[in-house]
Amino acid sequence: TGMVTLDPGFTNTASTTSAITYIDGEAGVLRYRGYPIEQLAEHSSFLEVSYLLIYGELPTADQLTAFTSRVQRHTLLHEDLKRFFDGFPRDAHPMPVLSSAVSALSTFYQDSLSPFDETQVELSTIRLLAKLPTIAAYAHKKSIGQPLLYPDNRLGLVENFLRLSFGLPAEDYEVDPVMVKALDQLFILHADHEQNCSTSTVRLVGSGQANLFASVSAGIHALSGPLHGGANSAVLEMLGDIRKSDDDVDTFMTRVKNKEKGVRLMGFGHRVYKNYDPRAAIIKKTADEILQKLGKRDELLDIAMRLEEIALNDEYFISRKLYPNVDFYTGLIYKAMGFPTKMFTVLFALGRLPGWIAQWREMMEDPQTKIGRPRQVYTGVPERDYVPVPDRG
């Protein structure tokens, strides 16, 4: 056997080159295609950022209009796919529903599966960007037992998604511009994050030349874990548990620091950011403002702020360079918007989608790409001889 390097969790191994996203974990820098996240969050829109990530440049006004209307034209789900939502149990978690529906797209759109046909990849890209918000809203409607609306393509992507999530058939749904702007910004902040767990999954599945729908469906499952995208719902559950229990914030912190099994300060820590997460800095600034504008002052926000204050001044967290990450405050905003906790990670998936697509496409176009096939270090028993059943002690 040749020399194999062991690197559990890939803490020190680059799996690919990439020209999409730049992170400097020490300095707290995040850039998409060279543009600082702070500038994009303030001035851009989610669809524009999606275009930037996927095609490499900011769109001209004409390109953005054409891209927006292409996405708008594909928001409908096939009626047969819509029926899938009746088949899931009412209390189904929306993340596996989302992943199943994306997986099913490869049965409905067999004309856009080839990973090497540019026209087909482009069509799958648009279909995914257009249909994922519809699928996500239907997963939510299904879980609360309300009828599924049809998309209204006079609306923008985020407006459409909010109307599909909260509107009712016989009512005009008033889209709240404060909510639209906040959600659009949150999607921008989530749009890509180089080789994280779900993106690496999308690439690994795609490296075997599986189609884009199959690869993204796998990425959604990867995102669902509580150490990854699932952290945003886990934060809210943690805050709720602290409020409900007799424990005060300090008792909870002691349990975290004693490393009780399964007890972590959710929404804290990051593999790459060791000083601060620039996304969290932006979110923290807007969280308070948005909660105020929506008129939802939340007791849980106070608990979160208290936890943060303790952690930032505590030796345990300081020595391990643990800071609030993107998931620490998002849940409170999503809750104020009216989403149930189960939907939070689905919202992360909606934001991350353009990143997954951009990374998958970059890989497929790269002549250096090989099938992903990590090595291992074997630790099992050495060779031994088979023993027939009657002779086994």
The beta strand positions in the chain, using DSSP E, are: 21-24, 29-32, 35-36
21-50 footprint of ligand CMC as x/- string (CB under 6 A): ------------------------------
Q: Is 302 a catalytic residue?
A: no
231 lies in the binding site for ligand CMC (CB under 6 A): yes
Q: Which of 327, 339, 347, 358 binds ligand CMC (CB under 6 A)?
A: 327
Rounded Cα distance between 334 and 319, Å, is 31
Catalytic residue, candidates 221, 327, 366, 391: 327
Q: Which residues make beta-bridge pairs with 324?
A: 268
Rounded Cα distance between 18 and 363, Å, is 8
**Would you say 81 or 256 has its CB closer to ligand CMC?**
256
Q: Single out the residue of 8, 10, 357, 22 nearest to residue 202, CA to CA.
A: 357
Q: Single out the residue of 202, 239, 242 nearest to residue 221, CA to CA.
A: 202
Start-to-end Cα distance in the chain: 34
Q: Which of 268, 339, 344, 360 binds ligand CMC (CB under 6 A)?
A: 268
216 lies in the binding site for ligand CMC (CB under 6 A): no
- Both structure tokens of 363: 């890989």
Q: Is 74 a catalytic residue?
A: no
Rounded Cα distance between 336 and 158, Å, is 16
Q: How many helical (H) and strand (E) elements, i.e. helices and strands, does the chain have?
A: 17, 3
- Which part of the chain contacts ligand CMC (CB under 6 A), choosing from 99-107, 117-125, 322-330, 364-372? 322-330
**Would you say 167 or 269 has its CB closer to ligand CMC?**
269
* β-strands 21-24, 29-32 pairing: antiparallel
Shortest CB 228 distance to ligand CMC, Å = 4
**Would you say 269 or 278 has its CB closer to ligand CMC?**
269
349 lies in the binding site for ligand CMC (CB under 6 A): no
**Would you say 112 or 224 has its CB closer to ligand CMC?**
224
Q: Residue type for 181, please? A: K
The number of residues that bind ligand CMC (CB under 6 A) is: 20
Q: Which of 52, 186, 326, 346 binds ligand CMC (CB under 6 A)?
A: 326
Q: Single out the residue of 165, 144, 160 nearest to residue 337, CA to CA.
A: 165
Q: Which of 43, 243, 271, 375 binds ligand CMC (CB under 6 A)?
A: 271
Q: Which of 151, 229, 331, 355 binds ligand CMC (CB under 6 A)?
A: 229
Rounded Cα distance between 13 and 97, Å, is 33
Give residues in contact with ligand CMC (CB under 6 A): 9, 196, 227-229, 231, 256, 264-271, 320, 322, 325-327
Catalytic positions are 270, 327
